[in-house]
């Protein structure tokens, strides 16, 4: 009888591991990966505002500036227990995607290693030129002024990561005085953290800082659990279940970057907010142009409206944050 039980346990264990074997199949794999979710777009709550700005500039023939994105680094220094960084190191790439959504003309300054190597090879006459005439030398030529320059460049960093700004929770447990009649428990917790980002927009020709933007975003997490412990005759039953969820921290970084890019491009396009995205403000010139020092006495209505919108968390957002049912701003 004992041998039969042992065989049953071995058979059950083998059945659980039947999808993994130490021998590769004809396709060269030990096991098939799980999961079949398709690749999807990666918007935030402010992506519609970026698209709106792009459409506005295209339909009104507004010339977009040439923007270069520099390094947007993680200055929090936060490291996870596994040894990696807690905050994404790809904020610069997020900013490039955001500027492209808004219709800016991007020039590459972030990774120029391939360009520098190509120019070096071309300068040494090592790269051929396709389609050259028989009388021409079959080498790539370098011409003065062949690369466009940037009008402005965008830099900054992730400057704050604050854990557990505030948390709250409740735990309850109840049952009969006789433990054999069963005991149940339930609990719930909420906790809040935040990140902050600081950016600068700099005139490439003069190195004048023409705009400074600072934003923070709070991130919420929750934990729910419940369980029951009881006896049924000679059988013990212990069942527990729960859920943990944390708003994606890296998505919060992307949202902060996109919000900042919305503010930058809206000033270039002279648009105040998403409600009037189809109408240009009645302002003379670009309020962010070089040499325009803004004071309390000469701040234009356009600039005042933009500064007010920066303080409003609902600006450039079609919905209230607490009405979102999806993590990526889709209701």
Condensed to tens digits (0 to 9), the pLDDT of residues 169-225 reads 998 888 777 766 778 889 999 999 999 999 999 999 999 999 999 999 999 999 999
- How far the first Cα of the chain sits from its last, in Å, is 60
CATH 3.30.70 is the classification of domain 41-126+148-163+195-218+253-289+298-323: no
Which position has the higher pLDDT, 186 or 16? 186
pLDDT average, residue stretch 279-294: 33
Q: Is the pLDDT of residue 6 over 70?
A: no
Reduce the secondary structure of 69-129 to three states and give it as a string: EEEEEECCCCECCCCCECCCCCHHHHHHHHHHHCCCEECCCCCCHHHHHHHHHHHCCCCCC
Which position has the higher pLDDT, 319 or 3? 3
Position 94 scores a pLDDT of: 96
Q: Is the pLDDT of residue 300 over 90?
A: no
Which position has the higher pLDDT, 37 or 297? 37
- Residue ranges per domain, the chain? 41-126+148-163+195-218+253-289+298-323
- For Cα atoms 288, 160, 85, give the angle at the middle one, nearest 5 degrees: 115
pLDDT average, residue stretch 58-76: 93
Mean pLDDT of the chain: 79
Q: Is the pLDDT of residue 265 over 80?
A: yes
- For Cα atoms 113, 118, 122, give the angle at the middle one, nearest 5 degrees: 150
Contact 87, 249 (CB under 8 A): yes
Enter the pTM of the model.
Answer: 0.75
Contact 218, 195 (CB under 8 A): no
Please name which of 62, 98, 45, 105 lies closest in space to residue 262, comparing C-alpha atoms: 98
């Amino acid at each position: 009888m004992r041998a039969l039980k042992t065989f049953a346990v071995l058979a059950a264990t083998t059945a659980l591991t039947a999808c993994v074997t130490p021998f590769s199949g004809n396709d060269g794999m030990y096991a098939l990966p799980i999961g079949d979710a398709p690749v999807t777009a990666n918007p935030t709550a402010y992506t519609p505002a970026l698209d709106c700005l792009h459409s506005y500039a295209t339909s009104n023939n507004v010339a977009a500036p040439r923007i270069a994105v520099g390094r947007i680094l993680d200055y929090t220094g936060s490291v996870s227990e596994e040894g990696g960084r807690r905050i994404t190191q790809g904020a610069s790439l997020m900013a490039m995607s955001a500027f492209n959504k808004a219709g800016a003309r991007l020039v590459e300054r972030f990774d120029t290693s391939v360009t520098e190597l190509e120019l070096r090879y071309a300068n040494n006459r090592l790269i051929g030129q396709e389609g050259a005439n028989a009388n021409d030398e079959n080498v790539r030529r370098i011409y003065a002024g062949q690369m466009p320059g940037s009008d402005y460049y965008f830099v900054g960093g992730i400057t704050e990561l604050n854990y557990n700004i505030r948390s709250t929770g409740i735990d309850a447990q109840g049952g009969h005085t006789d433990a054999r009649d069963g005991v149940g428990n339930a609990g719930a917790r909420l906790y809040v953290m935040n990140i902050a980002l600081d950016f600068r927009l700099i005139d490439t020709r003069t190195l004048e800082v023409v705009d400074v933007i600072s934003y923070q975003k709070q991130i919420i997490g929750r934990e729910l659990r419940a369980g029951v412990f009881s006896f049924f005759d000679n059988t013990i039953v212990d069942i527990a279940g729960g859920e943990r969820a944390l708003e994606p921290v890296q998505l919060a970084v992307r949202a902060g970057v996109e919000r900042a890019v919305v503010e930058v491009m809206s000033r270039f396009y002279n648009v105040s907010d998403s409600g009037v995205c189809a109408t240009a403000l009645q302002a003379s010139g670009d309020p962010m142009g070089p040499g325009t020092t803004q004071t309390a006495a000469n701040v234009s209505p356009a600039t005042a409206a933009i500064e007010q919108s920066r303080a409003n968390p609902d600006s450039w957002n079609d919905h209230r944050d607490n009405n979102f049912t999806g993590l990526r701003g889709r209701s």
